[in-house]
Structures are given as structure tokens and as C-alpha cells.
Amino acid sequence: MSVDIKFQWEDGADADLGLPRYETAGAAGADLRANLTDQQDLLLKVGCHTLIPTGLRMAVPAGFEVQIRPRSGLALRYGITLLNSPGTIDSDYRGPVGVILVNLGQEDFTIMHGMRIAQMVVAPVAQAQFMVTSALDDTARGSGGFGSTGL
């Protein structure tokens, strides 16, 4: 499935970083880059979190969302992940797209301007109609959950 997403650069953002792009033919996510104020690197201390600007606004088509997910390499090597994973970009949002990075590693981590800090995945979404009922349909599982099948 192919979907068009329109982007706009924030005033003052470094457009030379380019739009997110898929790094391989079958990649699900396109990497988002840190677009830092004055292109100054930023130190993310152990245990701290911060909002990293991407310099981008986007228009996600109705019926879709964009999920912002961690990059596994940053997570595995440095403990850098997303505090709100996956972040959700709503189809009616037109504000600046930010990435909430958290340092769960054991060392302070320098976020460099232009670094690929997260990936965005475009996904279809359904909006449901919510209603109250007096009886839910029966299933074999019933109320079993939270480890009911064993660990």
C-alpha cells in the first residue's frame, strides 16, 4: 500500500537533513532525524528525557496514523528509547513533530544534529463507535487473562 504524506519544514529548521526515508526496500519505518536548535548537539543525561525536534510538520491522510518508534540499535547499545513508545501522530495534527527520547542507559548520551533518533511507521487506523450493552458475547476464554494460560 502506498500513501502520500506531505511535509513542511519548521521555520529555522535545517532542511538539508532531508525528509524521512526508507533505508531499505522492505523497511517498515522511515528514520526521523534530530533537527536541533542552532544545530547544537544536546546531552541527554542518564535517567532523563527530553523532546527532540524533527523540524517537520506533516499531514497524515485521514484513515491513517503515524507511529513513532524507537530504533533498536540505539536501544540495545545505549539504552536510548522513546518514553511514549509508540508516539502517535494524528491525521488532524499539523504541529511540529517531536520525539520524546529517554536515556535508560548507564551513560550520558550525546544527541547530534542530524542523528537518526527514531523511525516513523504509517499505519491504517479504525475509529470505532462506542456503545454500552448489558451483555457481551460469550467466548471460550471468557474472563481469563493476565497469565491465565500460564507463564
Closest to ligand DUT by CB, 76 or 125? 125
Q: Tell me if the bond preceding 61 is cis, omega within 30° of 0.
A: no
Q: How far apart are CA 20 and CA 32, in angstroms?
A: 5
Nearest distance in Å: CB 126, ligand DUT = 17
CB of 131 to ligand DUT, least distance (A): 23
Identity of the residue, 13 or 68, whose beta carbon is nearer to ligand DUT in the bound complex: 68
Binding residues for ligand DUT, rule: CB under 6 A, are: 68, 84, 87-90, 93, 97-98, 100
| Measured CA angle at 22 (ends 16, 23), to 5 deg | 90
Tracing cell 502517535 back to the chain, one arrives at 88
Q: 73 labelled as ligand-binding?
A: yes
CB of residue 56 to ligand DUT, shortest distance in Å: 9
Is there a binding annotation on residue 84? yes
Give the C-alpha separation, 85 to 76, whole Å: 15
What does DSSP assign to residue 27?
A: -
